[in-house]
Structure 1
């Protein structure tokens, strides 16, 4: 039986994991600078969490979730996104009672959506996201966007575009919703079944439809910007002002609609403008979700966050032809010629590792020329050779592979010599 990786998933091989580790460390360092702390939530949750928070009219809930019944006949779902789980944990563990607000969280881990596989998009993908819960200050909106931009810039991306919009508060959205229904209802039979189902429940989602995006009614649909009340408009102006203070360029797109029901006020997407990146340019998206904490049983705690795909980030780095730094960390490759020498290389390999010197040796009893090629492929900084002569002198021949210099070093001086040289 020929068993292969499931469709929409991938194996990340050792030759690639170094890039992932660099990005993951970069993310953790950036979150530390901004004082966001890591939260780790279960990979599966009760299905109701996502139907209530993400929205039962969204593509995620209707078409993309991996849902199953467990042995207790409970409906569980592999998490399709991270915000719902983070907010559920915020409520369950009463983090709204913490003395320091807002509570600033980040997460990084696998998410699951049943969708068509495309470049950088998988059914199991790794998502990094942050949540700032407990503040309605537009300055925190700017900070959240700033952190996302910082991650991409530290990864070497320069061709970025930030697009923002305001979805308004509840009052603004109710007024706009009525205008949308009046606009689409007379011709709704010309739209897909999803749009027809969304007309009364959430007509804003019609504007995000991929099937009917070219329908002429889309271009003439009432703009939410025209229905923002004074408070919502003032909030959005503040967000734009803070972004300007942070020297973050942006474009306002009144048609930007995030695909999750819990968004309100600020919404944003970061896109790659790199040539050849692909038809789908979005790298990250997020926004404000005032009301979600209350929806999940908590007190009034406004929040904002974003999520980005690590796969998409790596793809964008490649699209800009950026080179990753040398990820090799092998300090010394040991070669022992003969049984006695091999025993000494086993001993020294262990000694080096105990002294935080990365070391590797041959375990296939290959010829010295083949072992030297292996050391070169592994990008070792030094090669250490022990033969009969070295055994007699209780020394080893240490060769610097960067300049070809070599010298005989007593065994008891090797650790200090390597540490000083490295």
Structure 2
């Protein structure tokens, strides 16, 4: 078998890259280790930066987003019940959109079905080879049959545990683990807010997000090793009422349809390239979800990488591919610092050695928020980064 670009991973990065290549007339095959049902059932991030929305529109892949997505003009930040709105449109003239990754994957996959794209599910033992030469391959097992796929380029869009990153010799990683996680729920209740709410509270962080006008998505800071079995629905709603409470505002409760605890970490690799192999998305970096950057970072990667692959294959111009790793990682480190800043500012830090140190840390975080509330320059910086940095290889 032969194709031009072998893409390992059918998440949003791999699926979107396939569409970019298709529109340039470049052949590709996508290999995915999980089932189609599992891929469509994963619940992930739900905030798209302005740049991500623009890319989907440019590619003609925004029909479902336009129908079901919710445009938000900013976010609410609060501490101890005091709430302040940061208006992105007024500050930087940009918006964000609420549109779940699950919905994006479903739409991208449906469009691939319409095109008849070559996507193979439940393949095992994927192994890139010959990456230093001009004729790399990916061997894999499909339905019990060993197969080898010859190609010009290999893209590892297969996540943190994928084979892509493990195929780069000498690669190193820079990591930070956090001593807390997010307990997230989906609830069948209309959102109680117009824009997302991020709340610092002495009991821990809380967030009010949404998936649609009928479904709310809410989060609580918990210890990273807590069990979801210890959190009854009643306990969850009680904690949300306490941490998100604000005078004159009501949090509406409803049936909880999904709940889980996700640990938080920061992770970036030293390079995204090796010969003819290129990494994109979670294969190369992971951010804590506070800044809503995970999905958007994947879209930024494949937008830059897709353009570079097209120039290489169509025009013989290797400049974009040669500069891809540096450009993508430069953007990613800016994204990492923003995500870390948001996370550190809004979460309770129980790891401080004593009560006095913990109280000092909390009061300094309140000071950060109070400064932000009173400074237009600080708000502009937050709005610029939250709404999204440019996607460029320049």
TM over 0.5: no
TM-score, normalisation: structure 1: 0.23
More strand as a share of residues: 2
Q: Which has the higher contact order (CA 8 A, sep 6+)?
A: 2
TM-score, normalisation: structure 2: 0.25
